[in-house]
Homo-oligomer: A and B are copies of this chain.
Amino acid sequence: MTSPAELLGQSSLSGVRVLEVGTSVAAPFGAQILGDLGADVVKIERLDVGDDTRKWTPPAWDGVSIPFLHVNRNKRSVVVDYKTDAGRAVMEELIAGADVLIQNLRPGAFARAGFSAERLRELNPRLVYVEMTGFGRTGPRAAQPAYDPLLQAYSGIVSMTGEDGGTPARVPVSVLDMGTGLWLVIAVYEALRRRDVTGVGTHVETSLLQTALMWMSGALMGVAAGHAAPRRLGSGFPGVVPYGAYPTSDGHVFLSAGNQATWLRLLEAIDSQDLDSREGFGSNPDRAANRETVNAALGERTSRFSTAELVARLEAAHVPHSPVQTVDQVLADEQVAALGQIQPLPHAQIPDLRVVNMPVTFDGDYPQMRLAPPELGEHTTEVLAELGHDAASIASLLDAGVIQTPTALEEEQTA
């Protein structure tokens, strides 16, 4: 038994075994969070290639795909071809000993391989089965595969993103993939709590489209209430002007003036009190009606300053603001450094690997970084040994090409 003190030093998920039959971003990200929180996550990968993201280069870090690296730490990699009889038997052993199984294969593919929800329940009534799809569990498009930006477009997010009068843009972070990963973690915790009481697992279903509708809940309710569909406003906000990113001599600064006092302090801060008396500039409703004219005039004034100078003036004047930082500036930022969230993680191929820990501390501590993102099949032998396979059994499965290890993969490549 783990003592309470030891447990607090680790996480409540120590001892919880999670199988990830996942690829790309959503399922791997959700499983990574469970791994960060102490679960033993075993990632089941395909023969020869593994997770699709292993090939998503550029960008790479010392030759390893960054799309793979950022969602696959704190887990072990096992390569098994569960479409063969011997591989299916190994998979069934893994399922029998697991607490959670997360999969985001093409809709129906896992069931066709012999692992329907009903079959999983037979193999392990305590299993929490998380099934993630693009378009959701039912409906005319349920069988269609999909990915993050397509569903940003389908769900209305793209229609709202980009410049006023310009073409639609996409959100450049994986709000649907990573967002669905967050929801599935919540669902796993909930299902584990239910199991504590009932003794049986739950079939959890989630999808990119459902996650998108949740992000869009305010916008959807607005239209349901009879308002017009939201339009693109660049960095702006309906009904408040000034609001958004304004140019400087060397970049942009985001600022807002939500009331008249802030508007006047802003004008004083940038030596532009004259703007207040211009026709259509004097009140927020007027400014909102003359959005383009006001923003152009204000941008002409803000562009007289460097970003650093404008930030200093807005800070002194208590006008809400932020520099529009580029990613290299964020990485060098002192506030970001102070938070300690970007952390080194020892990796055989990448001496300087750094990763972003989860945005949560528990009594001041982030979860522990335990395992580097694995090589394809790095833990095949180890995990099979834990299942009780002896050396002869493992060698036989390797020879049959049912399982793979990094050594076997290298030999194959040089053969």
B186 adjacent to A235 (CB under 8 Å): no
Give the most central of A155, A211, A232: most B CB within 10 Å: A155
- Contacting B at CB under 8 A, from A1-21, are 2, 4-5, 7-8, 11-13
A322 adjacent to B207 (CB under 8 Å): no
With A12-B193, A171-B161, A225-B59 as contacts: A217 and B323 at CB distance below 8 Å: no
The answer to whether the Cβ of A388 comes within 8 Å of any Cβ in the partner chain is: no
Residues of B within 8 A of A182 (CB): 179, 182-183, 186
Residues of B within 8 A of A334 (CB): 139-140
A245, chain B: closest CB distance, angstroms: 5
A327, chain B: closest CB distance, angstroms: 4
A360 adjacent to B155 (CB under 8 Å): no
* Number of identical monomers bound together in the oligomeric complex: 2
Residues of B within 8 A of A174 (CB): 215, 218
A180 adjacent to B359 (CB under 8 Å): yes
| Chain A binding surface SS class | mixed
Q: CA–CA, A179 to B324, complex, Å?
A: 20
The answer to whether the Cβ of A90 comes within 8 Å of any Cβ in the partner chain is: no
Q: CA–CA, A359 to B185, complex, Å?
A: 12
B161 adjacent to A252 (CB under 8 Å): no
The answer to whether the Cβ of A242 comes within 8 Å of any Cβ in the partner chain is: no
A189 adjacent to B189 (CB under 8 Å): yes
With A155-B325, A179-B182 as contacts: A191 and B362 at CB distance below 8 Å: yes
B335 adjacent to A153 (CB under 8 Å): no
Q: Which residue of B lies closest to A189 (CB)?
A: B189
The answer to whether the Cβ of A136 comes within 8 Å of any Cβ in the partner chain is: yes
A210 adjacent to B7 (CB under 8 Å): no
A391, chain B: closest CB distance, angstroms: 37
A214, chain B: closest CB distance, angstroms: 5
Residues of B within 8 A of A324 (CB): 153, 158-159, 168
The answer to whether the Cβ of A263 comes within 8 Å of any Cβ in the partner chain is: no
A247 adjacent to B190 (CB under 8 Å): no
Give the most central of A2, A140, A190, A338: most B CB within 10 Å: A190
Residues of B within 8 A of A235 (CB): 149, 158, 162, 167-170
Q: How large is the interface on A (under 10, 10 to 19, 20 to 34, 35 or more residues)?
A: 35 or more
Q: Which residue of B lies closest to A206 (CB)?
A: B360
B61 adjacent to A339 (CB under 8 Å): no
Residues of B within 8 A of A4 (CB): 197-199
Q: Which of B69, B153, B322 meets A153, CB within 8 Å? A: B322
A11 adjacent to B325 (CB under 8 Å): no
Q: Which residue of B lies closest to A152 (CB)?
A: B254
Q: CA–CA, A356 to B213, complex, Å?
A: 7
With A186-B189, A215-B178, A325-B156 as contacts: A66 and B222 at CB distance below 8 Å: yes
A161 adjacent to B172 (CB under 8 Å): yes
- Contacting B at CB under 8 A, from A330-372, are 330-331, 333-339, 341-342, 352, 354-356, 358-364
Q: Which of B59, B146, B153 meets A222, CB within 8 Å? A: B59
Please name 14 further chain A to chain B contacts, defined as beta carbons within 8 Å, in addition to the given A67-B218, A229-B326, sorted by A numbering. Answer: A12-B197, A58-B238, A60-B225, A61-B225, A137-B339, A147-B320, A150-B320, A156-B326, A156-B330, A157-B172, A160-B173, A179-B182, A204-B361, A204-B362
12 A-B pairs (CB sep. < 8 Å): A7-B198, A142-B335, A150-B256, A154-B333, A160-B173, A170-B245, A192-B193, A203-B363, A214-B358, A220-B356, A224-B342, A229-B328
